[in-house]
Amino acid sequence: MKKRLYLKPIKGKGRGVFCNTDISEGEVIEVCPVIIIPAEEFSGLSATPLMDYSFYFNKEENTLSLTMGFGSMYNHQQYPNAVYLLNREDRQMVFTAHENIKANTEICINYGGDYGIDYSKWFADRDIKIILFND
């Protein structure tokens, strides 16, 4: 059975998540279980590269989540072709197509959580140069 999603190296970005088939707007791309990192482990995790692959589970409580599957591997785009929603009750992250996505296209999310949010400070704080691609 051919996998629907795959990782591919991208110059200047590391690895990205791509799809083997077309995905329709509104279609669920992936449902990923999350591992909860308790607040008392926040500072320890923040000193490691894993911090860049985590999401806040509950920002007020300083708890994080590591998303399994491809969930922590989606790259950022200010106007992404996919969105995500954290389901705290089921401890899952649900990734959904924000627009029609053609096969062999990189699937991107907005790290700020909302479509159109400028997240360049996140990259600048990590001394990561942003490479912009024109469609």
The verdict on pTM exceeding 0.95 is no
Q: What percent of the chain has pLDDT above 70?
A: 81
Q: What percent of the chain has pLDDT above 90?
A: 47
Give the contacts of 56 (CB within 8 A, at least 6 positions apart): 63, 64, 65
Residue 81 within a domain: yes
Residue 22 within a domain: yes
Higher-pLDDT residue of 59 and 94 is 94
> Quick one: tokens of 87?
């389901």
Q: Which of 17, 131, 25 is nearest to 67 (CA)?
A: 17
Least confident of 8-22, 34-48, 96-110: 34-48
Q: Which of 104, 108, 134, 83 is nearest to 14 (CA)?
A: 108
Given this model, what pLDDT does residue 47 score? 77
Residue 129 within a domain: no
Residue 45 within a domain: yes
Residue 126 within a domain: no
Given this model, what pLDDT does residue 2 score? 65
In CATH, what number is assigned to the domain containing residue 21? 2.170.270.10
Please check the confidence at residue 30 and state whether its pLDDT lies above 50. Answer: yes
Q: Provide the CA 63 distance to its chain's centre, in angstroms.
A: 17
Residue 132 within a domain: no
In total, how many domains does the chain have? 1
Residue 51 within a domain: yes
Backbone angles phi, psi at 60, to 5 degrees: -65, -35
Per-residue DSSP letter, 61: G
Given this model, what pLDDT does residue 132 score? 46
Task: Please give the residue range of the domain that contains residue 82.
Answer: 5-116
- What's the rounded mean pLDDT across residues 121-134? 52
Residue 131 within a domain: no
Q: Which of 74, 38, 83 is nearest to 58 (CA)?
A: 38
Give me the chain's average pLDDT, please: 83
- What's the rounded mean pLDDT across residues 35-39? 86
